[in-house]
Amino acid sequence: MSTKHLAGAAGLLVLATMAGCATHTTPTTFNRSEVGRAQSVEWGVVEAVRQVTIQNDSRGVGTATGAVLGGIAGSTIGGSSRANAAGAVAGAVAGGAAGNAMSRSARAGVEVTVRLDQSGRTIAVTQDGQPNDFRVGDRVQVASDGVTTRVTR
């Protein structure tokens, strides 16, 4: 196998890995699409805090992306059309399995229940974080753009 083919296969595998990674939004991290979007802000008091597990939505995108990129990378391996076809199949299977595993990952999160000052409503917001990020009785800010809601101290 030539160095050119090996470099191409390695590059495609890196892309497959990156495609399966999800964006994690913390109280201090914003996605590009959220920048410049107006948010309504209310103040409130933390009523409860609990640790939760946040699991990525499994929509098959990671599996499909991994399979396609793995198939392309695998097809560059070998010196004949039969070897290229076998490499494509093996690459698609391996890439699909890797993409599926990455898209199903889970991470620690926190559910913060807040009693809002202005309306008196009680809301629960789940976000990345740890239970010790907030304490019952903390005065917090709740910011929401109608899609994403964050609780910060």
Q: Where do the structural domains in the chain lie, given as residue ranges?
A: 1-24+57-104, 31-56+106-153
The CATH number of the domain covering residues in 31-56+106-153: 2.40.50
Q: Is the pLDDT of residue 46 over 80?
A: yes
| Comparison of pLDDT for 22 and 153, the residue scoring more | 153
The separation between the first and the last C-alpha atoms of the chain, rounded to the nearest angstrom, is 56
Average pLDDT over residues 105-121: 94
pLDDT value for 58: 64
Indicate the pTM of the whole model: 0.56
Residue type, 127: Q
Instruction: Indicate the average pLDDT of the chain.
Output: 78
Contact in structure between 109 and 24 (CB atoms under 8 Å): no
40-55 vs 139-144, strand pairing mode: antiparallel
Q: How confident is the model at residue 99 (pLDDT cuts 50, 70, 90)?
A: low
- Taking phi over 0 as left and psi of -120 to 50 as alpha, with beta for the rest, 137 belongs to left
Give the 3-state secondary structure of residue 48.
Answer: strand
CA-CA distance, 80 to 78, in Å (whole number)?
6
pLDDT value for 90: 78
Q: Pick from 52, 37, 32: which is nearest to 147 by CA?
A: 37
pLDDT value for 133: 95
| pLDDT tens track for 71-88 | 777 677 767 777 777 777
pLDDT value for 7: 45
What are 150's strand-pairing partners?
Answer: 143
Residues 6+ apart with CB under 8 A from 98: 16, 17, 20, 66, 70
